[in-house]
Structure 1
Amino acid sequence: MRKSLIPAVCLAGAVACTVSATPAHAAVVGSVTPTSSAARAGIHQPGDAYAGWSAHRSASLTRTPLAGARPMAAAGQTLGIDVSSHQGNVDWSAQWGAGVKWAYTKATEGTYYTNPYFAQQYNGSYNVGMIRGAYHFATPDTTSGAAQADYFVAHGGGWSKDGKTLPGMLDMEYNPYGATCYGKSASSMVSWIHSFLNEYKAKTGRDAVIYTNYDWWSTCTGNSTAFNATNPLMVARYASAPGTLPGGWPYYTIWQYTSSPLDKDWFNGDISRVRALANG
């Protein structure tokens, strides 16, 4: 599915967005080609990547939920979803009726793409009463972490203390366009992540959530423990339990547990804890 590269600009905590018809950094986009595994996951051009696209690559993850493994909420957990351009216009009223109380929406990728459905997804979830946030798909081989944080904040990834806006999420996972670790050593990858997170906090005052899985984090950061005391973890594992957590995190804040029929997540706390994360 080919998606247009039309930037949607939203203000965190607001319900109004403006849309520009200008393609974003077409020269950078034109030089990147998805891998065959990315193409099989529905990524046909730069910008199509989404949280959990590569879950099937890890022995600890599977794109299809395990037979009989439909994780139920533990006491006090709260159901959420995460969406990208692949979901198009989301029926947020239906999701609210199904018990979804919060959502993350992909806003940006690299410094070359914004989700053309961002306004409908980000504002639509807010309008039905959900607590929502935006996420950024990182491409550490294209531009610096600080540059990508600036781009993210400028295109919907900001934050305001309105009780309904979650801090931004940094999506760190397999490269859909080439080498697994984006051509970086573990130490260089950790430095890149620091650059993004430091700039994001300087711009918003918040520590971003980190989305990752054990396999990629171990392979590409050396299982770095540099962020477990500051940045909440959203762990991806499509199974009946979240399994071993990466990076020495003592607990997960969010667990992405399935992609069927769309990405579903448990927040590790009741709605008051979701609101507390939103408020900082």
Structure 2
Amino acid sequence: MIIKSVLLFILSFSIVHGVWAQTILGIDVSKWQGTINWQQVSNSGKVFAYVKATEGMTYTDPKFLTNITNGKAAGVVMGAYHFARPDNNSAVQDATNFLNVAGSYTGNGYLPPVLDIEDINRNGGTTYLSDLFTPAQLTAWVQTWVTTVQNQTGVTPTIYTNTNYAGYLNSSLNVYGLWIAKPNTSPSAPPNNIGNWNDWQFKQYSWEGFVPGISGNVDLNVFHGSVDDFNELIGLNVENDDCSGAILLNSDSTCMATMGSVDDATSSGWPVAGCDLYAGNALAADVFYKFVATDTIQTISVNPSGDLDAVVSLYEGSDCANLTEIACSDNGGGFGQSEHLTATGLTVGQTYWIRVYDYGSQPPTDGNFEICVTYTSAGSEDISLSDAIITSSGTVNAGETVTAEVTQHYSGNSDVIPDVYLYYYLSEDCVLDASDVLLYDQDFSTINQADPSDEESQVLTIPAATTPGAYYILFVGDATQVIDEFDESNNTACAQITVTNGVSQDIYLSDASITSSTLVT
């Protein structure tokens, strides 16, 4: 992506010319900085910026979207922070507000999400968190917030606080990056007291900085680490760019999504997947995952957050040097469409590898996605049909159309399942066999435990050569058998129709006239 290329150039330029050595500088802002000229900020050498997104369970900073969008467009690496309000709300309420507003601005190319935990100065008064919570209570609140956000985004949050609370919070939180407030210090001097943390990630070294493009004072920050460290933090070093670095996914009964991206991935040089029909020179910049099968049937779901047109393939073998493709999914739906690959006949306990890349010759502008692996044990799911009716006339001429409707239902506990196809047949006896005529096979339901029913309707053409008589429209649910059901007997339903000989009948009038005098007195 252009923004990331700019970032790498800035950092490389800085090192070569000795301007900052490896000191990576940034700012943090909120609505109080007003309208910001982000291009000037970028030109001044500020590499990153944190933007206030939310506070408490309802508040959204009115400048958040403008700042994070314009900052990224100017080449600044952006991140979002949340001002904690444990005095009023639960950690889950606060986290939910942040995720609803800023959840899309996490992951590759962004700074980690931040929880700002400090005393609350509002309306001329100060609420001291240490008066309201013991260290254990406040630690539990913070832990719940960071866990909730990490589970949703797949990114480990950073905690912003001052020296007082860095020592007040329990050491169990020091597994999270620390952004320590140390105003009136030098960007090159390490903080002298970081409480229960062993290391620090960012330091806020001034509350009264001046930066071109911003009117008035602004907070100044420095990153603790090298260029490689910074790039790794924001996801530019793609961990799973090669098969050997494949990320291990858990197989669950429901989709437990992991964030992923093909941004900045490179091609492994492998042949394109078997289902990839792109005729040009495919870029195939791929990333890799692996999982241990917990069922003979597993579904791999990839849900893009942007314009990724994902190709998903599955491999088996002893290691990365000896893999064979066994399944593939490319639905042809285009940019941003989800892919669901259901593989059958797997061996429980065996490791399988997943490869994901973008279709075509050009990378997407946003290659981020969520991926999960799910299983459904045999006997726990079912597809059934109900309410089969003919909504047009039940008598139809051969060669003409009839409108048929049915409701397809899902019973089970899966959040994501493959498209469940519904086929329509013309049948003499409402029993599916070789004599039945397939009328339509492109209708499907996107059903799951959250949305278990879908009403389907199709206009069907009765073949012109059909012999007049009584027939049924035979509906067949899960016609492609993507669900391992506990009851296959309820997959069909019928609605009766009568087919006539195809000669339209009508009553009409003609030759109207007056045979007596046309003058009446």
Bin the TM-score by the shorter chain.
0.5 to 0.7
Give the letter for the 2:206 counterpart.
T
Q: Which residue of 2 aligns with 1:268?
A: 224
Q: 1:207 aligns with which of 142, 149, 156?
A: 156
* CA distance in 1: counterparts of 2:91 and 2:56, whole angstroms: 9
C-alpha separation in 1, matches of 2:105 and 2:37:
24
Instruction: After TM superposition, list the pairs within 5 Å mapping 1:17-56 onto structure 2.
Output: none
Change (3 A) 1:159 1:121: closer
Counterpart among 127, 131, 142 of residue 88 in structure 2: 142
Percent sequence identity is: 30
1:188-219 Cα deviation digits (max 9, x unpaired): 1011001101111111111111001112333x
Q: Which has the larger radius of gyration?
A: 2
- The alpha-carbon deviation at position 242 of structure 1 amounts to 4.3
Structure 1 unmatched runs, 5+: 1-12, 14-72
Task: Provide the C-alpha distance between the structure 2 equivalents of 1:169 and 1:265, rounded to a whole number of angstroms.
Answer: 14
- Tell me which protein shows more helix as a share of its residues: 1
The count of corresponding residues between Structure 1 and Structure 2 is 205
1:104 match:
50
Q: Structure 1 pair 136/161, CA: closer, same or farther in 2 (3 Å)? A: closer
Q: What residue is the counterpart of 1:194 in the other structure?
A: 143
The SS at the match of 2:173 is coil
Q: Aligned partners of 1:160, 1:110: CA distance in 2, in Å?
A: 19
Residue matched to 1:117:
63
- Name the counterpart of 1:39: none
Q: CA deviation at 1:134?
A: 0.2
Unaligned runs of 5+ in 2: 4-18, 209-216, 240-521
| Kept after mapping to 2: 8 A contact 1:131/1:274 | no
One-letter amino acid matched to 1:255: K
Give the TM-score normalised by structure 2.
0.37
Among 259, 262, 273, the residue aligned to 2:207: 259
Is the 8 Å Cα contact of residues 119 and 128 (structure 2) preserved in structure 1? yes
Residue identity in the other structure for 2:94 = Q
Residue 180 of structure 2 aligns to which amino acid in structure 1? V
Amino acid of the structure 1 residue aligned with 2:74: V
Amino acid at match of 1:258: S
Conservation of the 8 A alpha-carbon contact between 1:236 and 1:242? no
Which amino acid in 2 is paired with 1:268?
Answer: H
Does the residue aligned with 1:210 lie in a helix, a strand or coil? strand
Greater relative contact order (CA < 8 Å, ≥ 6 in sequence): 1
CA contact (8 A) 2:106 2:113 kept: no
Aligned residue for 1:173, secondary structure, equals: coil
CA distance in 1, matches of 2:227, 2:64: 24
In the alignment, what sits opposite 2:346?
A: none
Deviations 1:110-157 (Å, cap 9, x if unpaired)? 012101111111011100111111000001011111211111010114
Q: Which amino acid aligns with 1:127?
A: A
Contact 1:152 1:158 in 2 (8 A): no
Query: Is 1:175 aligned to residue 140 of structure 2?
Result: no
Letter of the 1:138 partner, please give it. A
Match for residue 237 of structure 1 among 182, 193, 203: 182
- Of 176-185 and 131-140, more deviation after overlay is shown by 176-185
Instruction: Please tell me the residue identity of whatever aligns with 2:231.
Output: R
